[in-house]
Structure 1
Amino acid sequence: MSRTVIRFAISGFVLLLFLVHTSGWVNLRLLEQIEHFTYDSRVQATLPGTLDSTVVIVDIDEKSLAVEGQWPWSRDKLATLVDNLFGTYQIRALGFDIAFPEADRSSGLQLLDRLQQGELADLPGFAERAMALRESMDNDRALAEAVRGKPVVWGYYFSQHLQSQQQDAVGAICPPAMDSMAAKLYDLDWIRPEGYTGNLPVLQATGAACGFFDNPTLDNDGVYRRVPLVQIYQGAVYESLALAVARLAAGRPGIEFEFEPPDVRTSLHLERLRAGPLLAPVDERIAVMVPYRGPEGSFPYVPAADVIAGKADAAVLKGKIVLVGTSAPGLRDLRVTPVAKAYSGVEVHANIISGLVNGGIKQKAPYYSGIETVLLLAIGVLIAWAFAALSPLAAGALGAGVLALISFLAFGLWSWGHFVMPFGVPVAFTLMLYLAQLLYGYFIESRGKREISKLFGQYVPPELVEEMAAHPEQISMEGESREMTVLFSDVRNFTSISEKLDAKELSAMINAFLTKQTGVVQKHRGTIDKYIGDLIMAFWGAPLTDKDHALNGVLTGMEMQRAIRELDPEFEKRGWPKLHIGVGINSGRMNVGNMGSEFRMAYTVMGDSVNLGSRLEGLTKEYGVGILISEDTRNLLPSDWAFREVDLVRVKGRSEPVAIYEPMGPKDELDPALRQDLARHRGAMKLYRAQQWDQAEQEFFNLIQSGRPHPIYELFVSRIMELRENPPGKNWDGAHNFSHK
């Protein structure tokens, strides 16, 4: 399996794990907690931290409980509270974050009923007197009368699941904000409670509206991050306390749902809820993300006792939206929020009302999971590609860039676009994917690379080891037949040279020579087969395929001739002789693989094409040239290269003649005079093979006299003299036979 496929498979496995969570099939609590943490971090990092006087909270706090007594207070006190808020302080609208499902037990009506039905039932005039007393003692009616005709919203709560023997409806609630006929026009993922606990009918009948204050969209960790604006009960739509108060303050405009596109009325395409000037981006459950302004106390608090006593600051209350609630710990209306672990529940509603009136509610779109899925797919593909195509360092830098980009987008869209983008899960996915890829690279690929380096590090250049590690499927230690190029290089007269040096100096000299020459081989992507004393054997086309194996081999041979001259200054300084080498190169089909015995194996090449390369190296001495290549190699080189045709030879072990050449390099890089000599040489060779001895001899002689002599010219002049004396016959193929290696 290729490295790229493996890297993408790793990404696919980790991606599948995360998609199972994103799709909702399996809830992975750790990922959920990470996403909640990053959401809360954004909330805390971008809190306005200013006091919003749009909404004022009349607080049943510990001070008020100390003044007015323990809760519940008698309803006549609340009636006074309402009268003062509207009469004395001229507020705009009032909402109760309290439900009143039961009658006031502190009014004395129950005692009056017992007396009227008991021992005083027959007392003359008592019935008439009791009737008059009942009207003055009915605190619930007093509160109802105080509310009548005023913009007051009663609070109540829905029950999502009824217990056995539990009533489905306690008390009364107001008419729905949208009737069942209108609700049927929308295919939404409504929250559908099974029952409710409302208010005393006498109270509810006098209120302008009502709103629920329960939160069925509470997250699993119990934190108030979002609150539904509506729920559907028995087919009709009912609004939340916050929405009801905000609508009442705005003149009670109707509720509308906005979709994109407008004609597709499903939760997935739901964008926002609108009520006149009020606009609320909502999610698939028609819930809003609570736009917290800061820690508790981001809105003015006025003690309820001060309002009842008429001691409150009128400037704080006049013309404001007021919520009546409690922050007293004993009344247990405290909530866990992203900004505090103990946060007054009534202030949660205040934040929502402020967001509805002033804007600033963040949108967590119904297609949030779709955004997260697309992000995970994009990150998975990018990270897989990076680890398949880039170095670990570059892939790590790309991973860091991905994290930085996700963070920038998450905070940028949050701050400037008021849009909640998935953050925690994509970051966790990036880190986990990076870790998985890194571990695979360290424990699997690195081990494979170490094995490859162990096998081939002494033969091939480091960059080829990297490529082999990246594409292990291209490597085979088993024997196989390939089109390749082989090179043999040998030092001329090395035996006589070695006799003049002691062992230490000879070792130092040969090490310097082999180091220089090996560097040239590796520069051109060659594989060192072996060293045999001063001989170097190298090949191209294995273990990695190389479509330019012939060109790389010839470039290596030519550069080896130049590189050995670069050693001359050091060798002369150390008193070592100047070295000369002969290079033979051949291309063709060769057997390559791990070969040897059970005692020792070596990665090497064998075959007739290999033997020919060795023969060509030996022939360089015969022709006085530094490098010889076969016709097969010549045919694989670029068409713009120039060659000196050396001869047609029949070497030992081969019956068919082989054309051999001296490579000169690209034609446009040659001196014009040299190009002219090469052309004259080709003409002389044609005359030679046509057995036109005199004309051929004259051409070779002219080349010798050109000022650019070459040993080949003199060799052919000498050979012509022999052939003139001993004609080869009419069937001569022009080849020269060599019986030695």
Structure 2
Amino acid sequence: MRGDGAKLAQKLLPQVAMLSFLSPGEIEAISHRGEIESVNDGDVLITEGEIGNTLFLVLQGNVAISRDGFRLAVSEMGSVVGEISLVDSGKATATVTAIGSVMVFRISRENFETLYSNKNFVRAILKGLAAKTREALARDVGNLHRIEGLRDTFGRYVSKAVLDDILSSSDPESLLSGRLANATILFSDIRNFTSFSEHLSAADMIGLLRDYFGRMVPLVTKHNGYINKFIGDALLVLFNLPVAYANSAIEAAQTAIEMSQSLDEMNADRRERGKPAISIGIGIHVGEVIAGNIGSVERMEYTVIGDNVNLCSRLEGLTKHYGVRVLISEALREKIGQHFLIRPIDLVIVQGRQTPTRIYELCGAMSSARDAEVSMCQQYEEALNLYFARRWRDCAKKISQSKLLANDNPATVLRHRCEGFLKEPPPQNWNGAFAIGKK
């Protein structure tokens, strides 16, 4: 684009939400890779089923998103359409039609591909794709009568067994209506991904996430988990929802163990290729949640909310503080304890809660636990009991003299805390709980 058209594009493009963080120079570069067009009410920008060759940025007005003749959503000024079929070189998944007079910025496939070198532009497209993936999944879950569409979309995020149970239910929609339900919740996150990704090229960042999710998602579905949300590099997984399953707590714990093992394999592959390893944290909790389709007529999402969901997120956040990979709640430990090697880690007051929470590390399956691992867990628990008894000097001494605890991260955290309490003890009414100020 040249002249006045490019200047107008430079003025209007920053109002597109996903481009708002780009620099003026990056906006200018994009402005020369497309054309501003005015379209009339009812004009079709994208046709469902056709190979996508164009990306549209909506600069003024609204467009309707429809599939199979049903309107799914209305995209407003500042939205982006057409990027999914451009990225995967596939057919358009929906029809996009102008509502009233609309001004768009059209980018062809050829020009779109020249922008791949712009890391921030690629990141913006990825964020948009992640958001639309969540929206598409929620829409399909909210319309179970469209069974084939549900199989194609929802089936990628839940095991076939769970999907078949949903579809074979006498009243499948009741499974997705608002209700109180008991669920096992697993939350995982790549640690420090934002700062980590700043040092990656766009291609490396895409490759990393593709490799990571490609390994983790099959493990979730293998154990009848339902991926409720992709939140950037994070996963929110539900077990026992939308349909109830026996042993869902055990399935969740086994999923976490296999995710940890898979990450070790992935990092070994990355090191062989001269790439840095990544770390993850996993939190698991079981409890009552509010589950169901939430949103408006135009945008519905099956999700879970409640204090127990928040606690699971806090558990994941604490893995970084204690230097462990998997933390679980006491409620989960009571359901799975005999099957897994578990050690108590601490009694904490997490952000947003008044009641202390006992947290535990999920170390592995009991059947494959080594003697040294079992002994280390026992020695740590003995030290922790000394800590709760206010015998901080004895606790610190036991940790310092133990070869098994010498390089153990939770033991180091506990020893440092004991050393601090020796200098400045907590009040006499201290109940053993330690307040954690951050997620």
Amino acid at match of 1:505: D
Q: Residue 679 in 1 paired to residue 374 in 2? A: no
Q: Residue 519 in 1 paired to residue 240 in 2? A: no
Matches within 5 A, 1:34-433: none
Give yes or no for contact 1:452–1:469 (8 Å, CA) kept in 2: no
Cα separation, 2, equivalents of 1:696 and 1:573: 41
Question: Could you say which residue in structure 1 is the equivalent of 2:256?
Answer: 557
Cα separation, 1, equivalents of 2:339 and 2:208: 38
Amino acid at match of 1:538: V
Partner SS, residue 175 of structure 2: coil
Give yes or no for contact 2:348–2:435 (8 Å, CA) kept in 1: yes
Cα separation, 1, equivalents of 2:170 and 2:264: 38
Taking structure 1 as reference, are residues 471 and 462 closer, same or farther at Cα in structure 2, changes over 3 Å only? same
Q: Residue 616 in 1 paired to residue 323 in 2? A: no
1:658-703 per-position Cα deviation (integer Å, ceiling 9, x unaligned): 0000112343432223222222221111110110112111211123
Give yes or no for contact 1:481–1:589 (8 Å, CA) kept in 2: yes
Taking structure 1 as reference, are residues 542 and 718 closer, same or farther at Cα in structure 2, changes over 3 Å only? same
Matches within 5 A, 1:417-566: 449-450=147-148, 452-453=150-151, 456-473=154-171, 476-566=175-265
Matches within 5 A, 1:652-671: 652-671=351-370
Corresponding residue pairs, total: 295
Give yes or no for contact 1:550–1:633 (8 Å, CA) kept in 2: yes
Amino acid at match of 1:701: S
Q: Residue 716 in 1 paired to residue 410 in 2? A: no
Amino acid at match of 2:415: V
Partner SS, residue 342 of structure 2: strand
TM-score for both structures, normalised by structure 2 = 0.63
Cα separation, 2, equivalents of 1:509 and 1:643: 31
Greater mean deviation of Cα atoms: 572-581 or 607-616: 572-581
Structure 2 alignment gaps of length 5 or more: 1-143
Cα separation, 1, equivalents of 2:195 and 2:329: 29
Partner SS, residue 246 of structure 2: coil
- Who wins on radius of gyration, i.e. which is larger? 1
Question: Could you say which residue in structure 1 is the equivalent of 2:427?
Answer: 729
Quote the offset at 1:706 in angstroms: 3.3
Question: Could you say which residue in structure 2 is the equivalent of 1:706?
Answer: 404
Give yes or no for contact 1:484–1:541 (8 Å, CA) kept in 2: yes
1:339-371 per-position Cα deviation (integer Å, ceiling 9, x unaligned): xxxxxxxxxxxxxxxxxxxxxxxxxxxxxxxxx
1:102-129 per-position Cα deviation (integer Å, ceiling 9, x unaligned): xxxxxxxxxxxxxxxxxxxxxxxxxxxx
Partner SS, residue 639 of structure 1: helix
Cα separation, 1, equivalents of 2:266 and 2:378: 34
Cα separation, 2, equivalents of 1:651 and 1:683: 24
Amino acid at match of 2:364: G
Cα separation, 2, equivalents of 1:733 and 1:585: 25
Cα separation, 2, equivalents of 1:575 and 1:509: 13
Amino acid at match of 1:604: T
Cα separation, 2, equivalents of 1:591 and 1:681: 36
Taking structure 1 as reference, are residues 447 and 601 closer, same or farther at Cα in structure 2, changes over 3 Å only? closer
Amino acid at match of 2:184: T
1:395-419 per-position Cα deviation (integer Å, ceiling 9, x unaligned): xxxxxxxxxxxxxxxxxxxxxxxxx
Give yes or no for contact 2:342–2:364 (8 Å, CA) kept in 1: yes
1:113-146 per-position Cα deviation (integer Å, ceiling 9, x unaligned): xxxxxxxxxxxxxxxxxxxxxxxxxxxxxxxxxx
Give yes or no for contact 1:641–1:666 (8 Å, CA) kept in 2: yes
Give yes or no for contact 1:521–1:556 (8 Å, CA) kept in 2: yes
Quote the offset at 1:713 in angstroms: 1.2
Taking structure 1 as reference, are residues 574 and 447 closer, same or farther at Cα in structure 2, changes over 3 Å only? farther
Give yes or no for contact 1:584–1:617 (8 Å, CA) kept in 2: yes
What percentage of residue pairs aligned between the two structures are identical? Answer: 33
Taking structure 1 as reference, are residues 576 and 483 closer, same or farther at Cα in structure 2, changes over 3 Å only? same
Cα separation, 1, equivalents of 2:293 and 2:374: 44
Amino acid at match of 1:491: I
Structure 1 alignment gaps of length 5 or more: 1-445
Partner SS, residue 227 of structure 2: strand
Question: Could you say which residue in structure 1 is the equivalent of 2:288?
Answer: 589
TM-score for both structures, normalised by structure 1 = 0.38
Taking structure 1 as reference, are residues 516 and 509 closer, same or farther at Cα in structure 2, changes over 3 Å only? same
1:14-34 per-position Cα deviation (integer Å, ceiling 9, x unaligned): xxxxxxxxxxxxxxxxxxxxx
Amino acid at match of 2:331: D
1:586-635 per-position Cα deviation (integer Å, ceiling 9, x unaligned): 11001111112333111111110000000111100000000100111111
Amino acid at match of 1:730: Q
1:155-177 per-position Cα deviation (integer Å, ceiling 9, x unaligned): xxxxxxxxxxxxxxxxxxxxxxx
Amino acid at match of 1:464: V
Amino acid at match of 1:682: E
Question: Could you say which residue in structure 2 is the equivalent of 1:277?
Answer: none
Question: Could you say which residue in structure 1 is the equivalent of 2:306?
Answer: 607
Quote the offset at 1:722 in angstroms: 0.6
Taking structure 1 as reference, are residues 706 and 540 closer, same or farther at Cα in structure 2, changes over 3 Å only? closer
Give yes or no for contact 1:484–1:590 (8 Å, CA) kept in 2: yes
Taking structure 1 as reference, are residues 602 and 576 closer, same or farther at Cα in structure 2, changes over 3 Å only? farther
Partner SS, residue 217 of structure 2: helix
Amino acid at match of 2:276: P
Cα separation, 2, equivalents of 1:665 and 1:493: 24
Taking structure 1 as reference, are residues 707 and 624 closer, same or farther at Cα in structure 2, changes over 3 Å only? closer
More strand, by proportion: 2
Give yes or no for contact 1:568–1:578 (8 Å, CA) kept in 2: yes
